[in-house]
């Protein structure tokens, strides 16, 4: 694991003492001086953060530290009072198809079947007929819902609904997937299963993924990089590179060591209380 100094270029020293630029991945999302207020309440203060292409970045912090506000700012749902968000070098002006969102409370249309929910975005883009069917079949398969394509959301378990919500977001072909505590409402076993399934999907689809959680173990199991946030007002204090090799084990020494290290950061910095257990719900 490695603490980063920010979004700047990293340098590596070669055998001859010469400094050579390491390959730095391109930046998918750049957040610069982001400040968000709700009336007089300062929810985010001067947040700077780079998210790289294909990155799996977790925003980790206690309740009220501004994780959702930051995610919503990236989505374009929250207007910043100062600073800006760039996606692939262009300042965003609001929500757009290049960013897909998955919420904790599975945002599915209850009057549509799984298949029709998945087809909703592509249909709006003008896709129809066999191509539409192909898209819904592909994403149903990807999330393991082939047998439930004709079911309505109220006929599904929480885990199945969240799979459908992920498929619906992916069917829009976003470059960036934003997930706001997507597994927070699930029981511990389903949560672990979906974490593993999401990692498989991420490895296939290779989207840039920004994932909000208040669970240290979830962040350590899932993320390439972990942005540690603190409240009053919301800030990003550190960004940690998670170099534990994949596939990861929740019971490995390295996993425990990294969880412990992050826990200590929260304790020492009095950043706030957050969960070390994946089964604790928000």
Ligand X SMILES: Nc1ncnc2c1ncn2[C@@H]1O[C@H](COP(=O)(O)OP(=O)(O)OP(=O)(O)O)[C@@H](O)[C@H]1O
**Stretch in the footprint of ligand X (CB under 6 A) among 13-21, 65-73, 91-99, 254-262:** 65-73
Residue from 73, 53, 21 nearest 236 by CA = 73
56-60 and 41-52 strand pairing: unpaired
Count the Cβ atoms, other than its own, within 10 Å of residue 260. 13
**The one among 50, 66, 102, 148 contacting ligand X by CB under 6 A:** 66
Among the residue ranges 1-9, 66-74, 87-95, 165-173, the one whose residues contact ligand X (CB under 6 A):
66-74
199's tokens: 């990692």
Phi, psi of 61 (to 5 degrees): 175, 170
Q: Is the peptide bond before 247 cis (omega within 30 degrees of 0)?
A: yes
In the complex, the smallest distance separating the C-beta of residue 67 from ligand X, rounded to whole angstroms, is: 4
**Of residues 202-241, which lie at the interface with ligand X (CB under 6 A)?**
214, 234
Residues 25/27/29/34 CA torsion (nearest 10 deg): 110
Residue 97 is encoded by which pair of tokens?
């198809």
Question: Do residues 180 and 71 touch, judged by C-beta distance below 8 A?
Answer: yes
Contact map string, positions 103 to 132, toward ligand X, x by CB under 6 A:
------------------------------
Q: Nearer Cβ to ligand X, position 229 or 259?
A: 229
Does the footprint of ligand X cover residue 68 (CB under 6 A)? yes
Please say which residue, 40 or 268, places its beta carbon nearer to ligand X: 40
In the complex with ligand X, the residue whose CB is nearer, 115 or 180, is: 180
Is residue 38 near ligand X by the rule CB under 6 A? Answer: yes
| Site residues (vs ligand X, CB under 6 A) | 38, 41, 43, 61, 63-69, 214, 234, 282
């Amino acid at each position: 694991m490695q603490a980063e100094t920010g979004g700047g270029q990293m340098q590596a020293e070669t055998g001859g003492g010469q400094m050579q630029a390491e390959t730095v991945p391109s930046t998918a999302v750049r957040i610069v001086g982001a400040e968000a207020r709700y009336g007089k309440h300062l929810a985010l203060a001067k947040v700077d953060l780079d998210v790289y292409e294909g990155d799996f970045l977790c925003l980790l912090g206690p309740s009220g530290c501004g994780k959702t506000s930051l995610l919503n700012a990236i989505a374009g749902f929250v207007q910043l009072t100062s600073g800006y968000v760039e996606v692939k070098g262009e300042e965003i002006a609001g929500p757009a198809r290049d960013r897909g969102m998955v919420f904790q409370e599975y945002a599915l249309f209850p009057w549509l079947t799984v298949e029709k929910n998945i087809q909703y975005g592509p249909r709006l883009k003008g896709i129809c007929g066999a191509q539409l069917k192909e898209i819904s079949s592909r994403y149903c398969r990807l999330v393991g819902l082939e047998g439930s394509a004709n079911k309505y959301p109220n006929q599904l378990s929480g885990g199945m609904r969240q799979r459908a919500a992920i498929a619906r977001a992916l069917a829009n072909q976003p470059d960036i997937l934003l997930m706001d505590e997507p597994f927070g409402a699930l029981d511990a076993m389903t949560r672990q299963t979906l974490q593993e399934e999401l990692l498989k999907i991420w490895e296939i689809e290779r989207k840039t993924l920004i994932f909000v959680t208040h669970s240290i173990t979830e962040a350590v199991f899932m993320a390439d990089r972990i942005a540690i946030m603190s409240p009053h007002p919301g800030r990003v204090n550190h960004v940690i590179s998670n170099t534990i090799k994949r596939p990861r084990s929740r019971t490995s020494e390295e996993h425990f060591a990294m969880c412990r290290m992050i826990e200590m950061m929260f304790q020492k910095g009095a950043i706030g209380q957050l969960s070390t257990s994946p089964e604790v719900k928000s």
